[in-house]
Structures are given as C-alpha cells and as structure tokens.
Homo-oligomer: A and B are copies of this chain.
Amino acid sequence: MTKKQAFHVAVVGATGAVGEQMLKTLENRNFPIGKLTLLSSKRSAGKKLVFKGEEFTIQEATPESFEGVDIALFSAGGSVSLELAPEAAKRGAIVVDNTSAFRMDANTPLVVPEVNEKDLLEHNGIIANPNCSTIQMVVALEPIRQAYGLGRVIVSTYQAVSGAGVTAIEELKTQAQAMLNGETPEANILPVKALDKHYPIAFNAIPQIDKFTDNGFTYEEMKMINETKKIMHMPELEVAATCVRLPVVSGHSESVYIEVEQDGVTVEDLRTLLASAEGVVLQDNPAEQLYPTPLDATGKNEVFVGRIRKDLNNDKGFHLWVVSDNLLKGAAWNSVQIAERLVKLGLV
C-alpha cells in the first residue's frame, strides 16, 4: 500500500474563532490537503471563505458530509461533536475534536503531541483536543515531570475572552469603548451566554469560566484538573485550579505552583530543561525584565515560560508563569499538530 500524499480534510465550525485559526494554521503549515470541505451549522451554511486564494462555500454539516473525508477537525460546540463525530468516524475519517464532548471518554485519547503523542496509536476514530488552559500547562510541566517528578500543581489562570468565541471578543471591545466614553457597559455574553447573570469584562476580571459543578469548582477548573491527570497518565496527581476571565483578547496566562519529587532541584535546572523542551520558549530573565505576556504570545504556536522561582519555604516547590495563544496551541495549532502527527505516524 502506498502512503497517501494528500488528504481530504474537513473543518467543522469553520466560521468560529477557532475554525478561522484552524484554516490559517493549515495554510501556514502547508498541510498536505488534497480536498478541503468546510462545514458548519445550518445558520452559517452558504457563507464563503478563502483558503490559499481559492473560494470555498461552507456547507451544512450532516453525517453524509464525511464520506471520503480522511481527517475531520471539529470545533463547532459539544453537541455538534456528540452528534456528528461518531458519524464521521463511522465513515472512516479520523476526527480531531476540539470540544469537551469526548475528552474524558475512556476510549478516546486526549492528546498534546509534546506530552503523549503515543496515545494517538490507541485511537478509535476520535481524538480529543484538550481544553486550551490545560494544553499550555502540560506542555510546560511534562519535561519537569520527566526529569524531576511531579507531586502537586496549583494553578490560577488569567484567560482571554477569545476562548469564549467571536461574540465575546466583540463584547469586550464594545464595553471597553463604552467605558472609555464614560458610558455604562452592557453585558450579555460573559461569563456564560446561556446563564442568567452576565458581568462586564472590560476593565474587570470575572472568576467564572463555564458553569459551576456541584463541588463549587467550575467546569473549566475541573477540565484543567481531570484532563491534566489523563494527558500525563497520572491519576494520582494533585491538581487544583482557579480559572479567571480577563479583558485580554488572546493569550491565556497561568500562575502555576508545582512541587517536584526530587530534592535539590534549582531554578537554573528548570531553566536549562525548559530552554530545550519541545514546544516551549523560555523567556525568563528578571535582570532584563524578560517574561512572557499574552500580547507578545498572540499569533505564536509555542508555550512561553518565565518567572521561574523556587518557593521560599519548600525546597521542592516552584512558581512559574506560563503563557500561550489559546486559539493556537490552545486549540487550532494543537489540532493541526495532531493531524500532522497522524500523517507522520502513518495513522491516516
């Protein structure tokens, strides 16, 4: 059997904030596309998008849309994935799903290529792309785990509105302009559009991302906790998360406290390790005020790490500041990267 040289790729949710970045990333990476099918809900069907100079009309996604598709990148919400990802897989496509629908399913690998590429070998037609805030954290933590062990993680996030979609970006900008004009901002989208209560995000911080679960943590926080354990294959890892939305357009930041298992690890050890870690860019020099910020990380694929400090009370404790573009490594780039690895591993 000769190896395929080009693939039929479908993008589901092509008009969303992540879908747009998926197309840009496929273009930038020159992904070997033989045929491209752009799909969406009924509402967006008929719209036109340009890919590599060629115009494509978006079609409504149905089970039949996936006939002949090799790779289907889903980012159109959990309910669309729940309904159509199995249909796509049934028709022979490998699905890379950016929603939370299958992430904790025991039969679905949850993959960040720098961390657990080998889990791709166990796929059953669907591969889940983790939550944005989880991805960037595990990329920074995996090299540390491998070298020194990892016993504990406490993270507080600083998350951009683009994680909540195009309408949240618009709301931030509209509110910011209103407040600069001295007007009272209107809030209709954040923290969760479907819920009753909305808070302004411009010049504010909202300590709620996604709905609340019964234990008082939000789903976003539980995603970080559960997905981290699954991706790192450490069900026993102690992870805690507090997730906060900021008036930032793109780029999630994370203040991460970790405890390693080995004694005597130094800040220089971690810097040396992370400076050569896959997918990581070390930006850590206090003397030159060098550290990552979300504005600087926007548009880049890597995970940026800085502010590495040893805890003053615990020799095994360290503090890190981890930043990445939530639409790229947190979503579109991680999905396309998975697709690239599927090709490299001969799985598609």
Fill in one digit per residue for A204-240: 1 if any B CB lies within 8 Å of its CB, else 0. 1111100010011100000001000000000000111
Fill in one digit per residue for A172-183: 1 if any B CB lies within 8 Å of its CB, else 0. 010011001000
A267 within 8 A of B: yes
B308 touches A216 (CB 8 A): yes
Q: Which of B156, B176, B294, B311 contacts A176 (CB 8 A)?
A: B176
Q: Which of B156, B203, B248 contacts A295 (CB 8 A)?
A: B203
Give A211 Cβ to nearest chain B Cβ, in Å: 9
Known: A176-B180, A207-B321, A286-B212. A255 touches B267 (CB 8 A): no
How many protomers of this protein does the assembly include? 2
A28 within 8 A of B: no
Fill in one digit per residue for A299-319: 1 if any B CB lies within 8 Å of its CB, else 0. 000000011111111100101
Q: Which of B205, B207, B238 contacts A314 (CB 8 A)?
A: B238
The docked-state distance in angstroms from the alpha carbon of A312 to that of B323 is 25
The docked-state distance in angstroms from the alpha carbon of A47 to that of B299 is 47
A289 touches B208 (CB 8 A): yes
The docked-state distance in angstroms from the alpha carbon of A238 to that of B312 is 8
Q: Which of B215, B216, B312 contacts A240 (CB 8 A)?
A: B312
Q: A200 — which chain B residues lie within 8 A by C-beta?
A: 295
Give A57 Cβ to nearest chain B Cβ, in Å: 30
The docked-state distance in angstroms from the alpha carbon of A311 to that of B306 is 26
Question: Which B-chain residue is minimally distant from A200 (CB atoms)?
Answer: B295
A244 within 8 A of B: yes
Q: A216 — which chain B residues lie within 8 A by C-beta?
A: 267, 286, 307-310
Q: A239 — which chain B residues lie within 8 A by C-beta?
A: 313
Q: A203 — which chain B residues lie within 8 A by C-beta?
A: 247-249, 295
A59 within 8 A of B: no
A253 within 8 A of B: yes
From A63-71, A112-120, A127-135, A191-199, give the one contacting chain B.
A191-199
A49 within 8 A of B: no
A246 within 8 A of B: yes
Q: Which of B225, B306, B307, B321 contacts A312 (CB 8 A)?
A: B225
The docked-state distance in angstroms from the alpha carbon of A217 to that of B267 is 12
A106 within 8 A of B: no
B204 touches A294 (CB 8 A): yes
In the assembled complex, 9 residue pairs joining A and B whose CB atoms fall closer than 8 Å, in A order, are: A173-B180, A199-B295, A205-B248, A207-B255, A207-B307, A238-B314, A242-B307, A244-B253, A247-B247
